[in-house]
Amino acid sequence: MSTVYNLKREVEKPVRLTGGHRLCAGCGAGVVVAGVLRALDQEDRAVVVNATSCLEVSTFMYPYTAYTDSYIHLAFENAAAACSGVEAAYNALKRRSKVEGTVKFITFAGDGGTYDIGFQSLSGAMERGHDMVYVCYDNEAYMNTGIQRSSSTPLFARTTTTPIGSAGQGKKQNKKDLTEILVAHNIPYVAQTAPLGNFKDLHTKSYKAIYTEGPCFLNVLSPCPRGWDYPMAMLAEITKLAVDTCVWPLYEVEEGVWRLSYIPKKKLPVEDFLRPQGRFSHMFKKGNEWMLEAAQQYVDQKWERLLQHTGA
Amino acid sequence: MSKPLSGNEAVAYAMKQINPDVMGAFPITPSTEIPEYFAQYVADGEVNTEYVTVESEHSSMSVCIAAQAAGARSVSATSSCGLALMYELLYVAASCRLPITLACVNRALSGPININADHSDSMGARDSGWIQIYAENNQEAYDNFIMAMPIGEAPGVRLPVMTCMDGFITSHAVENIELLETDAVRKFIGEYNPDNYLLKKENPLAVGPYDVSPYYMEHKMLQAEAMKAAKVRILEVAAAFENISGRHYSLFEEYRMEDAQLALVLIGSSAGTAKAAVDKLREDGVKAGLIKIRIFRPFPGEELARALAGTRAVAVMDKSEGFSANGGPLFAETRSALYDLKERPYLINIVYGLGGRDIKVGDIEKVFDRLMDITVTGEIGPVYSHIGQRSKEDIV
């Protein structure tokens, strides 16, 4: 492939996630999955592995699959192990001359299936070193079951298990930093990205992850209009705000070398990201200014640390 | 070729002869030796299996399912809590119609934690859609593992197979057993060439859908039909196996049942003890017999009813507690199977051998004594009871 990214050329490739699936309008997941799969070289085959999730129930409802590639879903908590199994089969059958051509292995799971219930399976697969890509489409809560908190849900966010009431102000804990945990696995490639603008960042990182030998991990922010409570037409804007406020920094760690992918020209205040989302509306009530301050302070700390890591 | 092998080594040896494509490996007592032996075969280049050392039994079964769906023949081994951790995936394996082979070395389930033999682990998985084949001894453990793939992979079946043997009693005790030549095993097993699989170039495949109400029931019906078809296939494979080994297998073994009036029904290694008791009683003129269940899934209900039709009293011996307050799982199946007989024998349930509690020839004789009393008095007494436990007074 040409090393210069060209959106027009990319979108002219045959789609690998076809239309007609049942994901919500304004959902990030479909855009993320289509974007990652677009990075495959056209002649290469893939096996897509999926954890139980919104994505799974929306894209493979019997008897219709939205994928042009082979696809497998087994359960919620084992997508990485399932991908290990497909890759193991490929190695065994290759050795015995029973499979032809190049096949790539790409796993998609939500944050529930990745940060929480599928965490052990993911860690095991990464440590074993399977040649696979694991993509977390992170929408920051259990959306498929109706918006319950996960360890990826940010501080103060309202979910159905962290509701707002006289004694409750949303989630009490900060978001787990899964990307850094994956960096600590010392795998060849870890990146944080988002479906942004012309999708160059998502595309470039997906390509690297797919075509770097060994286990690679992508954490992709994937806004959810139902769970985050924003107007569905705002998907691109919300994503952009997450990046420009440094709530979701874009970076990659390649063979242990940290690199920042994007520094906002003007780092926007966190409340610009929080304000359009219903899940944070209580933070803007009078007397809750401390919540906005706490959120800002946390983002600033994380951003400073990332600048140090990347030497930016 | 005759060789002294433990049950675990016998199964590992069968695996080596088969040379499967993928093995999911995770240790748990008492099945740990199986992946250990196999790791050495891999290290010595005796097999070229993709040996995946996963971080849990849950991932082990996940690897096996996905690998089998991808077109590979996959195997694993586990026990007790390891099997319990797989439970969710056992159902997924069966519903995806993937003929994985799993060696289950039977061990009591926690809690309390206990490492010794009983059948609570595999009995908990009895309704997961897996074929279950139980061995009495090391020879059967070896033979059953070799028969598993031709059964599970048959086009009309396509179901996963669990071969079970008793932890320690069978898995660790060494017996002299007859081994087949590797060429004969490979010829018997054949190549695994599924019609559809994930890595097939010509035709991509999607596995594991969200299955909605208009389809789910039909899929479950197909699975149920496959389990019925398995019974016929098991007998076909047994006949083919007899041709190459000279060893005869069926759905269950009938021991001195021709004219038996008193009979036991049980599973696994205790059959050896029970056979000794039957022989002793026969010497005393008691018409005693034994049925050792080999195939628990699919359950050979009609055949069992026919075999027990001429008896007067039967004790079903369960090596697992079902906590139904109404008897163990083998009892429930057997009693249900006998319901259609015009003249039914008296039927009692004895739960024994939990967590490795020993059962002796004398204990079995006591069970026969009870059956004798029942036939003489016509009084059945407690239908469901336990044997081999200390009395309440004994427990300090």
Whether A2 has a pLDDT exceeding 60, the answer reads no
Q: Are residues B52 and B75 in the same domain?
A: yes
Which residue of A40, A43, A44, A73 is the best one to mutate when testing the B interface, meaning the one whose CB has the most B CBs within 10 A? Answer: A73
The tally of domains found in chain B comes to 2
Q: Is B58 close to A81, i.e. CB distance below 8 A?
A: yes
Nearest to A173 by CA among A297, A302, A292, A295: A295
Show residues of chain A in contact with B22, CB under 8 Å.
85, 88-89, 92
| Domain-located, residue B370 | yes
User: 3-state SS of B182-214?
Assistant: HHHHHHHHCCCCCCCCCCCCCCCCEECCECCHH
A160-191 burial code (b ≥16 CB/10 A, e <16): eebeeeeeebbbeeebbebbbbbbeeebbbbb
Interface predicted TM-score of the whole assembly (ipTM), two decimals: 0.97
Show residues of chain B in contact with A129, CB under 8 Å.
none
| Domain-located, residue B393 | no
Q: Which of B183, B214, B245 is the last residue of a domain?
A: B245
Domain locations along chain A: 7-310
| Domain-located, residue B394 | no
Q: Are residues B263 and B223 in the same domain?
A: no
Q: Are residues B156 and B299 in the same domain?
A: no
Q: Are residues B155 and B220 in the same domain?
A: yes
Q: Are residues B165 and B268 in the same domain?
A: no
Q: Which of B189, B215, B245 is the last residue of a domain?
A: B245
Residues of chain B falling short of pLDDT 50: none
Q: Are residues B371 and B326 in the same domain?
A: yes
Average pLDDT score over residue span A181-191: 98
Q: Are residues B270 and B227 in the same domain?
A: no
Q: Which of B245, B263, B296 is the last residue of a domain?
A: B245
The range of the structural domain enclosing residue B362 comes to 252-386
Please name the fold of domain A7-310: Rossmann fold (3.40.50)
Q: What is the DSSP string of chain A?
A: --SS--HHHHHTSPPSB-S---PPTT-HHHHHHHHHHHTS-TT-EEEEEE-SSHHHHHHEETTEE-BSSEEEE--SS-HHHHHHHHHHHHHHHHHTT---S-EEEEEEEEHIIIIITTHHHHHHHHHHT-S-EEEEEE-SSBTTTTSB--TTSPTT--BTTB-EETTEES--SPPP-HHHHHHTTT-SEEEEE---TTSHHHHHHHHHHHHSSS-EEEEEE---IIIII--GGGHHHHHHHHHHTTSS--EEEETTEEEE----SS---HHHHHTT-GGGGGGGSTT-HHHHHHHHHHHHHHHHHHHHHHT-
Show residues of chain A in contact with B52, CB under 8 Å.
84-85, 88, 128
CATH of the domain at B28: 3.40.50.970
CATH of the domain at B283: 3.40.50.920
**CB nearest to A89's CB, from B21, B54, B62:** B21
Show residues of chain B in contact with A103, CB under 8 Å.
199
Q: Are residues B133 and B36 in the same domain?
A: yes
Q: Are residues B338 and B310 in the same domain?
A: yes
Average pLDDT score over residue span A35-57: 97
Q: Please, what is the average pLDDT of chain A?
A: 97
Which residue of A74, A119, A185 is the best one to mutate when testing the B interface, meaning the one whose CB has the most B CBs within 10 A? Answer: A74
Q: Is the dihedral of CA A95, A99, A103, A105 positive or negative?
A: negative
**For the whole model, what pTM was predicted?**
0.98
Show residues of chain B in contact with A57, CB under 8 Å.
210
The confidence score (pLDDT) of residue B111 equals 94
Residues across chain B: 396
Residue B32 is classified by DSSP as: T
**CB nearest to B89's CB, from A47, A75, A101:** A75
Q: Are residues B44 and B118 in the same domain?
A: yes
**CB nearest to B66's CB, from A82, A93, A128:** A82
Q: Are residues B192 and B166 in the same domain?
A: yes
**Which H/E stretch holds residue B350?**
strand B346-351
The confidence score (pLDDT) of residue B396 equals 58
| Domain-located, residue B395 | no
> Is beta strand A70-73 parallel, antiparallel or unpaired with respect to B206-207?
parallel
| Domain-located, residue B90 | yes
The confidence score (pLDDT) of residue B7 equals 98
Q: Is B198 close to A86, i.e. CB distance below 8 A?
A: yes
Q: Are residues B55 and B200 in the same domain?
A: yes
Question: pLDDT per residue over A220-270, tens digit each?
Answer: 999 999 999 999 999 999 999 999 999 999 999 999 999 999 999 999 999
The confidence score (pLDDT) of residue A232 equals 94
